[in-house]
Amino acid sequence: MLEIQNLCYSVDNEGSRKDIIKNVSLTLEDNKFYVITGPNGSGKSTMAKLIAGIEKPSSGKIIFDGTDITDMSITDRAKAGISFAFQQPVRFKGITVKDLINLAAGDEKLSTASACEFLSEVGLCARDYINREINASLSGGELKRIEIAVTLARSAKFSLFDEPEAGIDLWSFNNLIKVFEKLHDVTHGSIMIISHQEKIINIADEIILIANGELVKKGTKEEVLPLLTGTQSFSCKYTNE
Amino acid sequence: MDQIQKNLLAEVADLHEIPTGAYNIRSNGEGAGRRSTENIEIVTKTDKSGIDINIKPGTVRESVHIPVIISETGLSECVYNDFYIGEGSDVTIIAGCGIHNCGDQKSQHDGIHTFYVGKNAKVRYVEKHYGEGDGNGDIVLNPQTIVHLEEGSYMEMDSVQIKGVDSTIRVTKGDVAANATFIVKEKIMTHGHQLAETDFQVELNGENSNTNVVSRSVARDESKQIFKSYIAGNNKCHGHSECDAIIMDNAKVDAIPGLSANSVDASLIHEAAIGKIAGEQLVKLMTLGLTESEAEAMIVNGFLK
């Protein structure tokens, strides 16, 4: 279980303070599938980075399975079971897809066949990709799928995905939905996806709506969707926050 | 041969036992073993220190190992090795130099290797440099590689220096005839107060001659690297050089490219990129459970793989 208590995050904006996250409190239960949504610039990606430890909150606490992780490093949070698929995956010269999958799985000797299964799940022909370097020769969509495969390999207690659908337009959307459903079944952990896509929202147990750095509503689709229609950029999936 | 020498051999030539095929092992300035084969003859030079390696035309799928190891402190040598590679042959040559210096005097090996690559011959040349030892004496390696590529021939040179060499100035010169190709791949890591200077000079003389020079390096601590490359296109040809360096700590890296197009049909490109490890790369690997220093090591190892 992940508990976010009175979380605030502000940055210095040319001498004046800008509040990005404003006193957000949330409880995310085990084995649940959450979608966090809201307009561009509402603070969704920042929330994910605060949970993964990439950014440090100005105040407030994050409790994971009863342990206060607010001051923990990225590494220790990862080891504790928090996994994070980036919105914009990172390229590495010389590091292969297999290297990252093995690292994510925590098994250097993971067989190629097992590593390939993760790639097949995200719709990539494993044989063509497993030994590829994660460098500029891969397209944005390929990188995005590899990022998801790597996160699947982690099989973590808490998996965060920042706009996983962005950039993989040509891939059958239903497959992506199946990937998340399977992840939900297999890992018995919580999943939190930042998304603007209605199809992803439809399979969530609960929706978290954030606007202007504040929690607007957490609840079922039926409870939250009516509030969503009022936020102007909801239907756009090509956002970069 | 003692354990130190055996270890050096393993480091520079992946040799754990006597290699198959032709070989010449030079240890502390003297011959420590040699075998010629039916197609590959190794002969001691009579006018100066070094050997001639004569490869008969049409020799295919054979290899030559010529490692050099030095475990005595204060030994300095300059060796000339000439390779005559016959027409139409296809061979692998594994050179390399390992120095163990646990004394206070400088140990130095300057190897001057000249390749005469015959028509349509194909050569893969692997050269690895390695230094070790806890003495205060410097380990110095100054290799020179001079390559003459005849029509239709191909040479690929893989040069690696990952550890322990205090000072190196490596000069590689090539002249490339029609339809011939010269590929160079270099990997260097320097640390401490080391200095590594690389100087490539390639003349593309023949029609449809080709060269690709790729250097990947990591400079850490207080070390200094200088990368110079010069490609002259004297005919219809293709030349590409690339220097890609990761800089860490207080290291310094200079990249000095030079291109000279002396024909309207010469196509020449140089790329150079020097920078520190990107923060987002470290963060990504940390979200997969590595510490910052483990992440750094994985990025550097991958880069130099």
B302 chain-A contacts, CB cut-off 8 A: 92-96, 99
- Average pLDDT, integer, range B9-35: 83
- Average pLDDT, integer, range B129-147: 87
**Residue given tokens 């229609």 in the structure block:** A229
Domain count across chain B: 1
Residue B199 in domain: no
- Average pLDDT, integer, range B133-155: 91
B25/B292 Cα distance (integer angstroms): 42
Q: Is A75 in contact with B303 (Cβ distance < 8 A)?
A: no
Q: Is A79 in contact with B244 (Cβ distance < 8 A)?
A: no
Determine which of B10-14, B117-121, B243-247 has the lowest per-residue pLDDT on average.
B10-14
Mean pLDDT of all residues belonging to chain A: 88
**Residue given tokens 């397209």 in the structure block:** A139
Top mean-pLDDT range of A154-168, B7-21, B243-257 = B243-257
Work out the pLDDT band at A115, boundaries 50, 70, 90.
Answer: confident
**pLDDT at residue A234 greater than cutoff 50:** no
Between vectors from CA B273 to CA B271 and to CA B277, what angle results, nearest 5°? 155
Domains of chain A, each with CATH number or no CATH: 2-228 (3.40.50.300)
Residue B195 in domain: no
- Average pLDDT, integer, range B102-108: 85
**pLDDT at residue B299 greater than cutoff 90:** yes
**pLDDT at residue B16 greater than cutoff 80:** no
Asked if residues B171 and B159 have their Cβ atoms less than 8 Å apart, the reply is: no
Instruction: Tell how strand B40-44 and strand A190-194 pair up.
Output: unpaired
What residues contact residue A64 under an 8 Å CB cut-off, 6+ apart?
A1, A2, A3, A77, A80, A81, A82, A158
Element (H, E) at B148: strand B144-149
- Average pLDDT, integer, range B118-134: 92
A95 chain-B contacts, CB cut-off 8 A: 298-299, 302
Which stretches within chain A are classed as H helix? 44-52, 74-80, 97-105, 112-121, 126-129, 140-154, 173-187, 198-203, 221-228
**pLDDT at residue B127 greater than cutoff 80:** yes
Q: Does A104 touch chain B (CB under 8 A)?
A: yes
pLDDT of residue A169: 61
Residue B218 in domain: no
ipTM of the predicted assembly exceeds 0.85: yes
Q: Is B280 in contact with A75 (Cβ distance < 8 A)?
A: no
Element (H, E) at B287: helix B279-287
pLDDT of residue A171: 59
Residue B63 in domain: yes
B298/B151 Cα distance (integer angstroms): 42
pLDDT per position as a tens digit, B26-79 = 988 888 889 999 999 999 999 999 999 999 999 999 999 999 988 888 888 899
Considering only CB atoms, A99 lies closest to which of B278, B284, B302, namely B302
Q: In chain A, which among 64-83 make CB contacts under 8 A with chain B?
A: 73-75, 78-79, 82-83
A78 chain-B contacts, CB cut-off 8 A: 286-289
CA distance A64 to chain B (A): 16
Q: Is B286 in contact with A95 (Cβ distance < 8 A)?
A: no
The tokens for A110 are: 């993971």
End-to-end CA distance of chain A: 27
Asked if residues B187 and B225 have their Cβ atoms less than 8 Å apart, the reply is: no
Residue B162 in domain: no
pLDDT per position as a tens digit, A46-95 = 999 999 999 999 999 999 999 999 999 999 999 999 999 999 999 999 99
The tokens for B246 are: 């990761």
B80/B288 Cα distance (integer angstroms): 50
A96 chain-B contacts, CB cut-off 8 A: 302
A43/A63 Cα distance (integer angstroms): 20
Q: Is A95 in contact with B291 (Cβ distance < 8 A)?
A: no
Residue B229 in domain: no
Q: Which of B61, B55, B63, B62 is nearest to B118 (CA)?
A: B55
Residue of B nearest to A80 (CA): B289
pLDDT of residue B7: 82
Residue B129 in domain: yes
B18/B189 Cα distance (integer angstroms): 29
**pLDDT at residue A167 greater than cutoff 80:** no
Considering chain A, what percentage of its residues have pLDDT values greater than 90?
59
Asked if residues A231 and A201 have their Cβ atoms less than 8 Å apart, the reply is: no
Is the full-model pTM beyond 0.90?
no
Instruction: Tell how strand B76-85 and strand B107-117 pair up.
Output: parallel
Residue B44 in domain: yes
Determine which of A98-107, A130-139, B135-144 has the lowest per-residue pLDDT on average.
B135-144
CA distance B291 to chain A (A): 6
| Main-chain dihedrals φ then ψ at residue B100, nearest 5 degrees | -110, 115
pLDDT of residue A239: 47
Range of the domain at B8: 1-135
B303 chain-A contacts, CB cut-off 8 A: 93-94
